Structure 1
Amino acid sequence: MNASNQEAGQGQKRTPTIQEMESWNHEQLLEWIKQTQPNIFRNDKNTLTFEAAEIDGSVFLGNAKNLDFFEQTHLPLGVCWKLTSLAGEVSKQKDQPNQTAGRKRKGDETGISEESPISKRRQKDKEKEKVILTQLATEANKRRKAIKDIITQMNNSPDQHSDSVNPLPGAVDKLSDPTLNHILDFPFIGTIPERFKEPDIAEGKWLYMGRTMFKNFLHEVKKVRESDVYRRCWLYGTKGFGKSHLLAALVCYFVAQDERVVYLPDCRCLLDKPVSYVKTAMLFAWVDDFTTQKKIMALNTEDQIWKFFRYKQNVIFVVDQMNALMSDSIPNRKMALTLYDWVIGFASSGKAILSCSANCTDLEVFTDQTPSHVVRVYGGFSETEMEQWWKQHKDIDMGGYSRNEVEDVTGCIPLLLNHCIVNRKFDLTVPKLIEISNESVAFAQRIKSTTTKFDWEWYCDYVKACISNEPVPLGWTGHIELIDHRYFYQRYQDHDYIGGYTCGIVRDAVANRLLELDTKFIKINFLTSLSDFIDNRPVVGFMMEYAVLASIRSQGLKACGAGNEGMNFRFFTSQRDIQFDIRDQPVLYRPRQINYETIDGMIGFVKIPKRTAKGEKPKLFLFPLQITVAQNHLKPHQRFLDEYRQWADQQLLTFDIELEFLWITPNKRDVKQRPAYSPWPRHKERCIPFSEVSTDIWIKYQEEVEEAKEEKGDDKEEEEKAEKEVEEDQRSGTHSTV
């Protein structure tokens, strides 16, 4: 043994300080472990395996309680447990920098006598906490019994038809059936998270609408529980899908089978009082074991809880909102990451089902954690679930929107649907939608500003694939930092990764920004997947709008005297921002605001005559345009004219204005002269078919429509007519013409 190793090994009963151990190399650490715990490495093979890993003192301490880390050395599980425990013993000194772990602290670590006022107050607080915990234990017993009773009643219902693959098959059927709503006792006896609270639902209860995915999710969880490889099942996906409700329903299902389930519904609460929060969940899990409950009440530290779980078998851990401990926006990120390691550590003693909202950081975590099985969920309600949701909300005022518009903008995401109901009426301009629109645009702008040209082009191609339901660019796993995982994703389908987006509000916002930032963002092949969406008028309208705008931008528009030449392209926030400072060249102006209700764009053309008479002004030709696949397109025209006079007064001082409103439609061709009618000016209203904008666009549109008709048949046409009649009855106005 060399001198440094002798120093590390001397005094084998003494635990080194943090500072001492952090200075050790891997040889010194190994020597100390062999001296201190000779039973850990019982054979040379294990010793050599640990030595090959070259774990020094700093790394050893940094992974205290992290069983996964030691398992990656391929040592036996028992050895890994002992190493994890040993590292934890030393790391306990982090709050005692001037003491060794072997020295026992007196009083309350500051030398306070047992008779001091502080000591008495702490004793009083402990007694108060014990009373509260006893009350919680009593409530847990009632709550658990109520859950078991109602799930058992579901299973015993005479109309059950499920097979016996799962325990309580009738209950599984009902928890998977979106036609059924269930009011259940919440499986946690602390504060219920806000996302579970509903009007007119009693305290301590929550409303669950059956989800078709419940049965499949249960199957994935079962695979993990039966696996010798997987220790965890992550439920990972876009925000608002309903992951929390799925997990809570799963916990209720397990409770009905008398499983030991430690359920933490909101990791954000761990940032406040982690020990109390976990103890509350533990009391619910051991509700039938008073002896164990007394032990739980006596636990006072995170380390004691961790050790408690080490010796418990067949425990299921269900932890929601894990991303709350990994977010970069957390004020005390270091503490949050320590809590994350603590949760992962004690959950390693059993099987764990964890939930996390999609973002780049978390995806990298899952890639590194090989013992984890990831179940990915994206978007919102399925078609069947959405149909039932409408039935349950049939008394909501549509606010002038169609069902298609509501579904498209929100992506059928439960969270967004709820946000858009204000005073029993739909409003698609609520702050939440504006917030996520701004978030998605900010991400795109950051990629543009901070990455290389190659990365930017890759990002644009990825977004375009997601919007058009096409395969994403190759090598996406090497570019995960370029993907806004909150709103865009890829699914493995038919031997390829097909892109997708969560909701129309994000699609429109990002597409509009990319149209402004990149001239090559939209091309004719953008319409290749049009047939996939032909039944969804808002999506078809979106795709045609961008294809037409891209064509006008690059090829011009003959109808306004600007054919075969590209146009300058400018964005405006309001009509008053538009500047007509370019002469004798057409400019295409595009509103920066998504869902702009009056126009999709406007072509402006200032023409200066070669010879001008005294007092004669330059002519300003204005062509406000609306691109639509709808039959009724009256409202945007009227809205534009309502705004026109306020906006045009200033321009009339400089120009003589000629106004022509353009409708760009699939096949309608028409021109109407509109006389002056106060406050509206004299103007033309012209309908232009797609074929006059671009032959390629018109041919592609026809091909995709015909292909969709052949696939869907005539029944779909009748179904659409019926739906249209219902929607027209519900509408009080028209918010969109797409």
Structure 2
Amino acid sequence: MEGCSGYDRESESTEAATLGQISDIESIVELPFPSLLAVPRSFQLNEDGFFKYQGRSDLKSLHDKIVNFWKNDHCVKVDIVGTIGYGKSHMLAVLVLLLLLKPIYTKYGSTPFVCYIPDFQRILFGEAAVVAILRRNIQLNMSDFSGQIHTIEDIRAVMRYHKVILVADQWNSIDGPNTECIKTWERLRSCFGTSVCVEIHGMSTNSNPHAVLPKHISQDRIIYNGGFNDDEFRVWLQHHRGIFTEHKDELALLTGKVPLLLSAFRRVYKEGDSWESVVQRVQQDAISVKNWLKLLMIFYANIDANQV
């Protein structure tokens, strides 16, 4: 499925929402997926290519940090690390959307070429995949571009004139020490040369690659653990009343307020269900329980067992 179908059609209304609502944790807004690449399964898009996004308190500080790096012409690598299910990928997508809708300027007056790769594993599919991914990013950033992009040399010829903010989600997927990963990453780097100024790696704390990742490769690291804070959970409940508000304390304990698990409860619930039947259905749902134990162990790691 291709993303960004709503990006061009609704840019003005989306920009209004961007400026007024996206950073407001009281809001849940519909936003276009900011890419022409295939949409990861973690995003549920409507027929217009929009996904629902609940405002997160961490988004503004993340956006401000990236903007500050760019404005001050700082070349930096930033790890954005989150617990599986926290909503890191959605935050990165919204960050990209903000950067595309409202370009930022360096002190020298230049704006970024925003290269967003929502599923970094796809660049492992060979040179043709790398070319296709960057061709799509060129089309998104340069709507009037009419040249031909068939090879890495073609990409180099375009990118030599740009400074790049690279946002690579699912970074863990190619960050292994094996020859294939190293060769793939070198191929991608050859496309950019020295163009990348701000390099953002989206990764998960729940995966082995993160645990063995050399800590010196990034100059900045932002870690998001657990799930919604109390205010964000309150807003979620306001939009999912009934059985969830009646059992909000138990729901918080069962899910750790992790958005992925909350969405699992919402997905399996049918009107008239008892609370016990909803819990049982979630536990039997293969999608929901895949990382259930890992998520809860991380969330409760620093909480007294008696309280749990």
TM-score (norm 1): 0.35
- What is the SS of the residue equivalent to 1:317? strand
Any conservation in 1 of the 2:5–2:32 contact (CA below 8 Å)? no
Offset of 1:314 from its aligned partner?
A: 3.2
Structure 1 CA distance for aligned equivalents of residues 5 and 82 of structure 2: 33
Residues 220 and 301 (structure 1), Cα distance of their counterparts in 2 relative to 1, 3 Å cut: same
Amino acid at match of 2:151: T
Any conservation in 2 of the 1:214–1:246 contact (CA below 8 Å)? yes
Residue of structure 2 in register with 1:596 after alignment: none
**In the alignment, which of 260, 276, 283 is matched to residue 415 of structure 1?**
260
Any conservation in 2 of the 1:140–1:283 contact (CA below 8 Å)? no
1:393 matches 2:237: no
1:361 matches 2:206: no
Residue of structure 2 in register with 1:209 after alignment: 54
Structure 1 CA distance for aligned equivalents of residues 4 and 119 of structure 2: 18
1:271 matches 2:137: no
Structure 1 CA distance for aligned equivalents of residues 17 and 223 of structure 2: 28
**In the alignment, which of 141, 145, 150 is matched to residue 285 of structure 1?**
141
Give the number of equivalent residue pairs.
Answer: 283
Q: Could you list the per-position Cα deviations for residues 684-712 of structure 1 after superposition, in whole angstroms to 9, with x for gaps in the alignment?
A: xxxxxxxxxxxxxxxxxxxxxxxxxxxxx
- What is the SS of the residue equivalent to 1:143? coil
Any conservation in 1 of the 2:34–2:96 contact (CA below 8 Å)? yes
Offset of 1:256 from its aligned partner?
A: 1.6
Any conservation in 1 of the 2:79–2:202 contact (CA below 8 Å)? yes
- What is the SS of the residue equivalent to 2:84? coil
Amino acid at match of 2:17: M
- What is the SS of the residue equivalent to 2:29? strand
Residues 141 and 195 (structure 1), Cα distance of their counterparts in 2 relative to 1, 3 Å cut: closer
1:320 matches 2:176: no
Amino acid at match of 2:146: K
**Within-5 A mapping of 1:585-734:** none
Higher alpha-carbon deviation: 361-370 or 267-276: 361-370
Q: Could you list the per-position Cα deviations for residues 572-621 of structure 1 after superposition, in whole angstroms to 9, with x for gaps in the alignment?
A: xxxxxxxxxxxxxxxxxxxxxxxxxxxxxxxxxxxxxxxxxxxxxxxxxx
Offset of 1:185 from its aligned partner?
A: 1.9
Residue of structure 2 in register with 1:669 after alignment: none
- What is the SS of the residue equivalent to 1:251? helix
1:349 matches 2:195: yes
Residues 352 and 434 (structure 1), Cα distance of their counterparts in 2 relative to 1, 3 Å cut: closer
1:153 matches 2:20: no
Residue of structure 2 in register with 1:300 after alignment: 150
- What is the SS of the residue equivalent to 2:35? coil
Structure 2 CA distance for aligned equivalents of residues 270 and 153 of structure 1: 34
- What is the SS of the residue equivalent to 2:283? coil
Structure 2 CA distance for aligned equivalents of residues 194 and 222 of structure 1: 28
Structure 1 CA distance for aligned equivalents of residues 4 and 229 of structure 2: 34
RMSD: 3.3
Residues 140 and 260 (structure 1), Cα distance of their counterparts in 2 relative to 1, 3 Å cut: farther
- What is the SS of the residue equivalent to 2:220? strand
**In the alignment, which of 227, 232, 236 is matched to residue 77 of structure 2?**
232
Residue of structure 1 in register with 2:106 after alignment: none
Residues 394 and 252 (structure 1), Cα distance of their counterparts in 2 relative to 1, 3 Å cut: same
Residues 182 and 398 (structure 1), Cα distance of their counterparts in 2 relative to 1, 3 Å cut: closer
1:143 matches 2:13: no
Residues 144 and 312 (structure 1), Cα distance of their counterparts in 2 relative to 1, 3 Å cut: farther
Task: Please list every run of 5 or more consecutive structure 2 residues that lacks an aligned counterpart in the other structure.
Answer: 104-111
**Within-5 A mapping of 1:471-482:** none
Offset of 1:391 from its aligned partner?
A: 1.2
Structure 1 CA distance for aligned equivalents of residues 44 and 183 of structure 2: 30
Offset of 1:366 from its aligned partner?
A: 5.2
Offset of 1:308 from its aligned partner?
A: 3.6
- What is the SS of the residue equivalent to 1:381? coil
| Identical-residue share of aligned pairs (%) | 19
Any conservation in 2 of the 1:150–1:184 contact (CA below 8 Å)? no
Any conservation in 1 of the 2:255–2:262 contact (CA below 8 Å)? yes
Offset of 1:246 from its aligned partner?
A: 0.8
Residues 208 and 276 (structure 1), Cα distance of their counterparts in 2 relative to 1, 3 Å cut: same
Any conservation in 2 of the 1:323–1:362 contact (CA below 8 Å)? yes
Structure 2 CA distance for aligned equivalents of residues 207 and 142 of structure 1: 13
Structure 1 CA distance for aligned equivalents of residues 5 and 283 of structure 2: 45
Offset of 1:304 from its aligned partner?
A: 4.0
Residues 186 and 142 (structure 1), Cα distance of their counterparts in 2 relative to 1, 3 Å cut: closer
Any conservation in 2 of the 1:230–1:373 contact (CA below 8 Å)? no
1:223 matches 2:68: yes
Residue of structure 1 in register with 2:291 after alignment: 436
**Within-5 A mapping of 1:159-174:** 171=19, 174=21
Amino acid at match of 1:222: V
Any conservation in 2 of the 1:144–1:284 contact (CA below 8 Å)? no
TM-score (norm 2): 0.77
- What is the SS of the residue equivalent to 1:316? strand
- What is the SS of the residue equivalent to 1:420? helix
- What is the SS of the residue equivalent to 1:196? coil
Offset of 1:356 from its aligned partner?
A: 1.2
Structure 1 CA distance for aligned equivalents of residues 142 and 41 of structure 2: 26
Offset of 1:189 from its aligned partner?
A: 2.1
Any conservation in 1 of the 2:113–2:162 contact (CA below 8 Å)? no
**Within-5 A mapping of 1:165-204:** 171=19, 174-198=21-45, 201-204=46-49
Offset of 1:142 from its aligned partner?
A: 7.4
Any conservation in 2 of the 1:234–1:355 contact (CA below 8 Å)? yes
Task: Please list every run of 5 or more consecutive structure 1 residues that lacks an aligned counterpart in the other structure.
Answer: 1-135, 156-170, 441-485, 489-500, 508-525, 531-538, 543-738
Residues 177 and 344 (structure 1), Cα distance of their counterparts in 2 relative to 1, 3 Å cut: farther
Structure 1 CA distance for aligned equivalents of residues 214 and 156 of structure 2: 23
Structure 2 CA distance for aligned equivalents of residues 344 and 238 of structure 1: 28
Structure 1 CA distance for aligned equivalents of residues 49 and 288 of structure 2: 30
Question: Relative contact order (C-alpha < 8 Å, sep 6+): which is higher?
Answer: 2
- What is the SS of the residue equivalent to 1:234? strand
- What is the SS of the residue equivalent to 2:137? helix
Residue of structure 1 in register with 2:221 after alignment: 374
